[in-house]
Amino acid sequence: MNTRRFLLLSGAAVSSLAAVPAWAKRKKPVAKAAAAAGDDGGPGTATAVVSAPADTPVGPLDTIAGHAIVIDFNTGAVLLTKDADTPSPPSSLTKLMTIYITFTQLKEGKLTLGQTFTISEHAWHMGGSRMFVQVGTQVTIEDLIRGIFVDSGNDAAVALAEGIAGSEDAFVAMMNAEAKKLGMTNTHYMDASGWPVDGHVMSVRDIATLATHIIKEFPDYYHYAGEQTFTYNKITQQNRNPLVAAGVGDGLKTGHTDEGGYSECGSTERNGRRVIVVLNGLPTWSSRVTESKRLMDWAYNTFQDVPVFTAGQVVSQAPVWLGQVPSVPLTVQTGLTVTLPNNWRDTTKIAVDYPAPLPAPVISGQKVGQITLSGTSVPPGQTLTADLVAGGDVPRLGLPGRAMARLKHFITGA
């Protein structure tokens, strides 16, 4: 006699329930490539990119970036995409994987921040953005990390690669293996720094995935990404990330090559909510500055994280068949927070689905149904369902009670 009890609630009703509250194999660098590789600190060469709309849950939004993705870190919601899965030259955003492997080994105790690596001729010889390490010197891992995040040093990236794996080629194999583990399906590394090489590519979605893992897995080390300046070898350099330099972001990296254009992987946290913006193929240095900030502000101004349900909150009262009490409260064991546009009450619905009546006995914590959130403007990528569980025990009636209940049902249909 079970039927499905399916409640469809509008956003307004929902708000009343919630508290809404490889050096030798590398192409030999020519003058043009050396001038461009990783040189993300100045105007450089403009890349012709036409402004075109990106896809968002609230409608198209123009951006001059060739590739773009904006995600909400807390919920995984994808707020904006433009050609986000197409592999393209990532330039110095490559160094995020070099950092990821370094942080992993630090966390596992295989390395220490004070440990030193010897600078090889290969590392010292790197062009483009540099930390200006000297061949034969000993440099700490901590300084090399700063040399990557602040200076975008190609020399620092190669020094870490060689120190960790013995050679850059061996380190590149580690990079590609890690990318596969993280599900970065549109990424292939050829070096540790992002120096232009045919076949060295990443998609902006993969870059966002990598950035998410860095922030989530290494809270003790992430602060290096937001350091404003770094002085090494009596040379002080400012962080090349415009969001960090402007004090509106706390990481992660920028990049530039003539082929790939200007790129940005930036993140910031405001009032407990974190957003990640990844852009590639921007035509100018200034457009990277303005576009990264514009899309970051857009994400915060257009969307909000909504605590739809809190853990233990009673969602409904379910009738119980042949139970010692006629109903049982239904709750959610874990909270459900999703990212929604500011007008979410007008565009969002919640479905509460469970069989009714529930047959006794009912055990507290027993899964009995599911809550699903939907709407035309709900951003993809986030968890939109929660298990519905019984909020108490309901023992089954004894034999006489069951007989009386069946008789009552036969007579009255209740």
Q: At what angle do helices 204-217 and 95-107 cross, to 10 degrees?
A: 20
Q: Which of 122, 115, 153 is nearest to 28 (CA)?
A: 122
Candidate list 88, 92, 203, 316, residue with the active-site label: 92
Residue 47 one-letter amino acid: T
Amino acid identity, position 33: A
Residues 6+ apart with CB under 8 A from 244: 225, 226, 227, 228, 250, 251, 266
Token pair belonging to 392: 């108490």
> Are the CB atoms for 120 and 220 separated by under 8 Å?
no
Distance spanning both ends of the chain, measured CA to CA:
12
Cα separation, 414 vs 412, whole angstroms: 5
DSSP state, residue 321 = E
Total number of residues shown for the chain? 414
Contact by Cβ (8 Å): 95, 147: no
Strand partners, 10: 349
- Examine the residue annotation and report whether 181 is marked as an active-site residue of this protein: no
3-state secondary structure of 413: coil
Q: Which of 88, 95, 193, 203 is catalytic?
A: 95
CA torsion sign for 115, 94, 136, 151 is negative
Is there a catalytic annotation at residue 16?
A: no
Ranges of H-type helices in 54-181: 95-107, 121-125, 141-149, 154-165, 168-181
Q: Could you say which of 91, 129, 152, 263 is catalytic?
A: 152
Tell me whether residue 253 is annotated as binding.
Answer: yes
Q: What is the DSSP letter of 341?
A: E
180-186 CB contacts, 8 Å cutoff, 24+ apart: 182/209, 182/210, 182/213, 183/209, 184/209, 184/210, 186/85, 186/86, 186/87
- Told to judge if 374 belongs to the known catalytic residues of this protein, a careful annotator would answer no
Which two tokens mark 200? 């060295």
Query: Given the DSSP bridges, would you call strands 358-359 and 314-321 parallel, antiparallel or unpaired?
Result: parallel
Binding-site residue ranges for substrate: 253
Q: List residues with catalytic annotation.
A: 92, 95, 152
